[in-house]
Amino acid sequence: MNETQDLVFFDRYEQRLKTESIYGGKPLRWAYGTTLGRLCLEAVIKRRWFSSLYGRWADCGCSRSEVTAFIERFELDPDEFADPPGTFKTFNEFFHRRLKPAARPLPTSKNAVIFPADGRHFLVPDLSKEQAIYAKGQRFDLLELLGDKELAARFENGTAILSRLCPTDYHRFHFPLDGKGSTPRLINGALYSVNPIALAGSLARIWQNKRRVTVVTDSPVGDYLFLEIGATNVGTIVDTVAPESEIERGDEKGYFRFGGSMVITIFPEGAFVPADDLAKQAADGIELYARFGDTMGSTQ
């Protein structure tokens, strides 16, 4: 894809391709698709202080006036919210809202691996191979992403699922399998967008961004990795689970404050069987829209 193309994804529930409605689409295309925009991107937009300024607005009481308009524009369902829209004191409170448990039921199958978040998901079946990840010929640099030679070697032939959360999505993320979560390791970096418009130009923006790496042990697949990727206007990643604690599939891990963002789940080689639609759409270079709690695949 290039910066001027529409973003197309496959909706699991409507069983059709759809065009993404991008929050802040014009500024995004300008920043990543024009010479002047790229200069501004490197000088200002990717900096953490830029996102901090935006975050201050989202934490200000004056921002609550945007909540109703946002819900209406992007056709969100307030009946899913754990708290009524009128109770949010700031836009950020609304942004990292909780949902009613019934809004995201979990599968009954014990072998099911669930999507960790609402969003558009992309399967990378073998991290060691060059693939069309948002653009032709791009390949993960696992060592740069993880910042750990031993972990990179262990998962070099593994499977990754990129779960991209748009600003319109529910912004809490959850464990896809049982296990025991380690203390997250923070790797500081820039705050580029993780929208495909940005990643088509360079997949490396993922591992140039601020990110956190958690090793989950004692799971049905052995050890797996869970990464949270910061992005433009998402400088804050909040934990809601205690490190080194036993967790169950579906337990909340944390949330992002305002903006689009991404979580990445990495499984060891041969341990994960992706859902048919996730695999089919990835083979065509297309993201699959699915919600947290739905089946992402199964254990071997």
Catalytic positions, written as ranges:
118, 174, 261
- CB contact at 8 A, 198 and 259: no
In our burial notation (b when 16+ CB lie closer than 10 A, e otherwise), range 99-133 reads beeebbebbeeeebbbbbbbbbbbbbbebeeebeb
Tokens for 65, please give them. 């006036």
- CB contact at 8 A, 295 and 273: no
The alpha carbon of 45 is separated from its chain's Cα centroid by a whole number of angstroms, namely 20
Distance between CA atoms of 207 and 18, rounded to whole angstroms? Answer: 28
> Which residues make beta-bridge pairs with 28?
none
The alpha carbon of 276 is separated from its chain's Cα centroid by a whole number of angstroms, namely 21
